[in-house]
Amino acid sequence: MSWGPNTLIKQGAALVATWEDVWEELPADTRLALTPVEQPASTEPGSASLFQGAELSPQEKRVLGLLKSDESTHLDQLVERLCAHLSSSEIFAALFELELSGRVKALPGKYYVRAM
């Protein structure tokens, strides 16, 4: 019953449990080419977001305008308040972008708050 695994071991197979196992087996020049260049740490205060300073879309501005930093708002409440102006898919997309940019934080139970 172990003919297949034993044959692979004879041929030089290696155990792969994590991505690090694959990384260690790569040739040194390949690992070097795939390693990102270290960027110097930023000296500017503020968020480490990739979207810092990016202009908000009109949909994101509407959604962000309804959120408070000290009180959570349920997704259903946002949809009810914005249904006259935005479709539900536009609201979801705006929430997603705001969360990625660090301006909004998702809480358990589909609640959202403005990030401080």
Confirm if 47 and 53 have CB atoms less than 8 A apart: no
> pLDDT for 15-55, tens place per residue?
888 888 888 888 888 888 888 776 665 555 544 445 555 68
Residue 79 and residue 35: Cα distance in Å, rounded?
43
Topology at the third CATH level for domain 58-114 = Arc Repressor Mutant, subunit A (1.10.10)
Tens of pLDDT, residues 81-94: 999 999 999 999 99
Domain boundaries, the chain: 3-34, 58-114
| Contact (CB, 8 A) for 93 and 59 | yes
User: pLDDT by residue (tens digit) across 96-106?
Assistant: 999 998 899 99
To the nearest whole number, what is the mean pLDDT of the chain? 83
Answer whether 0.75 is exceeded by the pTM: no
Smallest Cα–Cα separation from 116: which of 99, 98, 103? 103
